[in-house]
Amino acid sequence: MTAPKYVEPSGDQKAGYLHYKRPASPWEIFLKEEGIPVYHGIGMRDSRDLPRAPWARQGGKATYIQLIGTNNDTGMYCWELPGRGSSEVIHHFYEERFIVLNGRGSTEVWKEGSSAKTTFEWQPWSVFSIPLNAYFRVVNASSGPAIILAVNTAPRIVNMFQSKSFTFNNPYNFEDRFGGNLEDYWKPAEDYEAHPVQGRAQLTTNLFPDAQNCYLPLDNNRAPGFRWVYPQMVGNTVLGGFIAEYPPGRYAKAHHHGSGAVLVCMRGKGYSITWPSKEGGLTPFQDGKGDLVLWQEYWEGGMISAAPTGNPNETWFHQHFAISSGPFRVFNYTGGSAFGVAGPGQEGDMVAGIGAEITDGGRAIPYHMEDPFLRKHFEERLKENSGSFDMPEEVYTEAGASIRVMSD
Ligand SMILES: [Fe+2]
């Protein structure tokens, strides 16, 4: 389509339109061309319940999942490979990470210009990532379907370069991410390190054989007894996030930030609530603004967009509640690896860590300042689910707010 000729306004009239419709982004056009369903929403109980359709590009059947707040940022899909079936050979210039929900199998990964394949095996709740721009093929060894959740940075690359050939047919090898001696490349690591910027736990591993049951170190930042690790995988610079766990009968302090994080439940059952921080304030129910609060219950395979806003100037408070009889484990699998690496401001600026509360320059509401409805409601939900309330009473006092380390 050729653009119409520009006509200058006359006098002091403004050029162009004061209001106009936002066009589809290259990523949104790409999604339509893929020929599989696209799910929109703030989350769902179990992503396996979403309808899937045959997918020519990667093989098997799939649905895209584009939660509110992730648009043009991260791509997600729920993918089914038939029993004893395998995917097409896949190769793309974006980071990608997978969580296995059902089935067992293996993945072959290799480089441009090399026939030597590296291979690893996976089972339910394995988490693996494919090195940027490597070739790979996923093979389902089970007799039934394998179902795998994926997250990637495709929207950024598709939007930035607007070239399928660049995205899917680029010969560049990232030797720094997938090079040298690859013999132990997929050997899972178990030694937790302190993250150099925040000092919290990180694990540098390209594969979690069982991220549902693996050990998670004590962290305490979001709740007493909260466990947490930052997974540093295949040299990814964008896909970071965290795996976190709430003890049964406990819940997170509310905290606020912009959109992007998606929590996938890997163990147990819970619910999350989220509301716009400026509009809803600290105590939305008490202030008659309860209708601004969005709720999502989810269990293994389900998810929520923690701050579901499309507005870059807006932050949302969110809070997660463990209602299962066992721990509630979630994977923020879209989360960035920024960790103070690429934040706003200048080098050397002080950044409030996630454990910092609003009374201490942070973004979290201490329990003693939260909306009283939340605890009451949580106690009721626990009763319905045969769980029991297990928050230590002292966290509801001002003194308790400054307790940084607590035992289980
Ligand atoms: Fe968050």
Beta-carbon count within 10 A of 1 CB:
3
Q: 245 alpha carbon to ligand 1 midpoint, in Å?
A: 14
Task: Write the single-letter amino acid at 280.
Answer: G
Contacts of 234 (CB under 8 A, 6+ apart): 95, 129, 130, 131, 132, 177, 178, 206
Residue ranges per structural domain of the chain:
26-168, 193-401
Task: Write the single-letter amino acid at 164.
Answer: K
CA-to-CA distance for 224 and 267, rounded, in angstroms?
A: 18
Q: 347 alpha carbon to ligand 1 midpoint, in Å?
A: 23
pLDDT at 405: 40
Beta-carbon count within 10 A of 166 CB:
14
CB 240 within 8 A of CB 332: no
Q: 4 alpha carbon to ligand 1 midpoint, in Å?
A: 45
pLDDT at 287: 98
pLDDT at 407: 38
Is 193-401 CATH 1.10.10.60?
A: no
Q: 295 alpha carbon to ligand 1 midpoint, in Å?
A: 15
Could you list the beta-strand ranges (E) of 35-185.
38-41, 43-44, 53-54, 61-67, 75-81, 90-91, 96-102, 105-110, 118-122, 127-130, 135-140, 146-152
Q: 251 alpha carbon to ligand 1 midpoint, in Å?
A: 13
pLDDT at 398: 87
**pTM over the 0.75 mark:** yes
Helix, strand, coil abundance in the chain, percent, nearest 5: 15, 30, 55
Six-digit token pair at 140? 């389902």
pLDDT at 404: 46
Helix (H, G, I), strand (E, B) or coil at 166: helix
Q: 259 alpha carbon to ligand 1 midpoint, in Å?
A: 9
Summarised one tens digit per residue, pLDDT across range 187-246 is 999 999 998 888 999 999 999 999 999 999 999 999 999 999 999 999 999 999 999 999
Q: 316 alpha carbon to ligand 1 midpoint, in Å?
A: 9
pLDDT at 406: 39
Q: 255 alpha carbon to ligand 1 midpoint, in Å?
A: 6
Listed as ranges, residues in the chain with pLDDT below 70 are: 336-343, 400-408
The CATH code that applies to domain 26-168 is 2.60.120.10
Q: 134 alpha carbon to ligand 1 midpoint, in Å?
A: 31
Find the distance separating the first CA and the last CA of the chain, reported in whole Å.
Answer: 64
CA-to-CA distance for 63 and 38, rounded, in angstroms?
A: 6
Helix (H, G, I), strand (E, B) or coil at 134: coil
> Cα–Cα distances in Å, from 390 out to 325, 398, 399?
11, 19, 19
pLDDT at 225: 97
Q: 263 alpha carbon to ligand 1 midpoint, in Å?
A: 9
CA-to-CA distance for 217 and 200, rounded, in angstroms?
A: 9
Fold match between domain 26-168 and domain 193-401 = yes
Helix (H, G, I), strand (E, B) or coil at 240: coil
